[in-house]
Structure 1
Amino acid sequence: MKKSVTALGMALACMLGTASPAGAQGVWMKGDLHLHSRHSQDSTNNAVGKIISFAESEGFDFLGITDHDNHVDGDTAHHTWADPQWRSDRIVLLYAAEWTTDRGHTNVFSAHPYDQKLLRRMSDERDIKLIGLRKAMGVHMSANHPTNKDHFGFSFDMVDSIEVWNSSNWAKNPPALTVWDDMLKSGRMIAGRGGSDSHHGWPDTPQDRSAKSDERLSNYVGTPTTWVYAKTRDRQGVVDALTQGHAAISANPKDPRVEFSVDLDGDGRDDGMMGDNLRGTGKPVSFRIHLAQCPIPWVQYRVRVIRDGEVFATVPVDASKGEATFTDTPPADKRAYYRLEVEGPQADYAAVPMSAGYSGTMVALSNPIYFNFNPAF
Structure 2
Amino acid sequence: MISAHHRRWLLAICICIAACDGRAPGDHDAAPNPPTSPATPTLPPVASLDNGVWLKGDLHIHSRHSTDSSNNPESKIIALGESVGMDYLAISDHDNHVGGDVANNTWADPELRSNALLLLYSAEFTTARGHANPFSATPYNHQRLYDARDGLDTALAKIIKEEGLHFSANHPNGADHFGYSYDLVDSIEVWNSAIWSSNAGSMLIWQDMLNSGRNITARGGSDSHHGYPGIGDTPGQNSLQAGANNVGTPTTWVYATARTSEAVIAALTNGRVSISSNPNAPRVVLYADRDRDGTMDMMMGDNAAPPGSAVDFRVDLVGVGVALLPYTVTVIKNGSTLGTYTMQPTSPSLRFTDTPAAGERSYYRVQVEGQPAPYPQVPASSLLSANMIALSNPIYFNFNRPR
Fold match (TM-score > 0.5): yes
Matched, 1:252 2:247: no
Provide, for residues 161-202 of structure 1, a one-character-per-residue CA deviation record: whole Å limited to 9, x for no partner: 000000211110011111101000111010000011000134
CA contact (8 A) 2:291 2:307 kept: no
CA contact (8 A) 2:228 2:246 kept: no
Alignment-derived partner of residue 249 in structure 2: 223
Matched, 1:80 2:106: yes
Per the TM alignment, residue 212 of structure 1 is displaced from its structure 2 partner at its CA by: 3.2
RMSD (Å), alpha carbons: 1.5
Alignment-derived partner of residue 13 in structure 1: none
Alignment-derived partner of residue 328 in structure 1: 354
Alignment-derived partner of residue 327 in structure 2: 301
Alignment-derived partner of residue 351 in structure 1: 377
Per the TM alignment, residue 207 of structure 1 is displaced from its structure 2 partner at its CA by: 7.1
Separation (CA, whole Å) in 2 of partners of 1:235 and 1:176: 26
Q: 1 or 2, which has the higher strand percentage?
A: 1
Alignment-derived partner of residue 39 in structure 1: 65
Provide, for residues 30-65 of structure 1, a one-character-per-residue CA deviation record: whole Å limited to 9, x for no partner: 000010000000011211000001111111000010
Alignment-derived partner of residue 129 in structure 2: 103
Shifted more, 307-316 versus 126-135: the winner is: 126-135
Separation (CA, whole Å) in 1 of partners of 2:360 and 2:263: 32
Check 1:289–1:224 CA distance in 2 against 1; reply closer, same or farther (3 A cut).
same
Alignment-derived partner of residue 8 in structure 2: none
Matched, 1:376 2:402: yes
CA contact (8 A) 1:287 1:326 kept: yes
One-letter amino acid of the structure 2 residue matched with residue 61 of structure 1: D
Alignment-derived partner of residue 46 in structure 2: 21
Of 215, 235, 241, the match for 2:267: 241
One-letter amino acid of the structure 1 residue matched with residue 206 of structure 2: W
Structure 1, unaligned runs of 5 or more = 1-18
Alignment-derived partner of residue 128 in structure 1: 154
Structure 2 SS opposite 1:29: strand
Structure 1 SS opposite 2:114: coil
Structure 1 SS opposite 2:150: coil
Separation (CA, whole Å) in 2 of partners of 1:149 and 1:220: 21
Separation (CA, whole Å) in 2 of partners of 1:42 and 1:235: 28
Alignment-derived partner of residue 167 in structure 1: 193
Q: TM-score, normalised by structure 1?
A: 0.92
Per the TM alignment, residue 360 of structure 1 is displaced from its structure 2 partner at its CA by: 1.5
Provide, for residues 310-352 of structure 1, a one-character-per-residue CA deviation record: whole Å limited to 9, x for no partner: 1111121111111001100011111000111100010111111
Provide, for residues 217-267 of structure 1, a one-character-per-residue CA deviation record: whole Å limited to 9, x for no partner: 111000000000010111101000000010000001111100101001111
One-letter amino acid of the structure 2 residue matched with residue 21 of structure 1: V
Separation (CA, whole Å) in 1 of partners of 2:97 and 2:67: 7
Structure 1 SS opposite 2:246: coil
Per the TM alignment, residue 20 of structure 1 is displaced from its structure 2 partner at its CA by: 5.9
Alignment-derived partner of residue 112 in structure 1: 138
Matched, 1:193 2:219: yes
Per the TM alignment, residue 298 of structure 1 is displaced from its structure 2 partner at its CA by: 2.9
Per the TM alignment, residue 204 of structure 1 is displaced from its structure 2 partner at its CA by: 4.8
Provide, for residues 109-148 of structure 1, a one-character-per-residue CA deviation record: whole Å limited to 9, x for no partner: 1011101110011011111221222111100011000112
Per the TM alignment, residue 23 of structure 1 is displaced from its structure 2 partner at its CA by: 5.5
Structure 2 SS opposite 1:41: coil
Per the TM alignment, residue 210 of structure 1 is displaced from its structure 2 partner at its CA by: 4.4
Structure 2 SS opposite 1:295: helix
One-letter amino acid of the structure 2 residue matched with residue 197 of structure 1: D
Structure 2 SS opposite 1:212: helix
Structure 2, unaligned runs of 5 or more = 1-43
- Select the structure with the greater relative contact order (CA < 8 A; seq sep ≥ 6): 1
Separation (CA, whole Å) in 2 of partners of 1:202 and 1:372: 45
Alignment-derived partner of residue 289 in structure 1: 315
Separation (CA, whole Å) in 1 of partners of 2:290 and 2:230: 55
Separation (CA, whole Å) in 1 of partners of 2:225 and 2:300: 31
Structure 1 SS opposite 2:248: coil
Separation (CA, whole Å) in 1 of partners of 2:264 and 2:109: 22
Provide, for residues 72-125 of structure 1, a one-character-per-residue CA deviation record: whole Å limited to 9, x for no partner: 011111111111110001100000110001100001110111011100110111
Separation (CA, whole Å) in 1 of partners of 2:123 and 2:105: 11
After TM superposition, list the pairs within 5 Å mapping 1:133-212 onto structure 2. Answer: 133-204=159-230, 208-212=234-238
Separation (CA, whole Å) in 1 of partners of 2:263 and 2:392: 19
CA contact (8 A) 1:200 1:208 kept: no
Separation (CA, whole Å) in 2 of partners of 1:291 and 1:337: 20
Separation (CA, whole Å) in 1 of partners of 2:377 and 2:350: 31
- Which portions of structure 1, spanning 4 or more consecutive aligned residues, are displaced by more than 6 angstroms? none
Alignment-derived partner of residue 7 in structure 1: none
One-letter amino acid of the structure 2 residue matched with residue 215 of structure 1: Q
Check 1:289–1:210 CA distance in 2 against 1; reply closer, same or farther (3 A cut).
same
Q: Aligned residues: percent identity?
A: 51
Matched, 1:361 2:387: yes
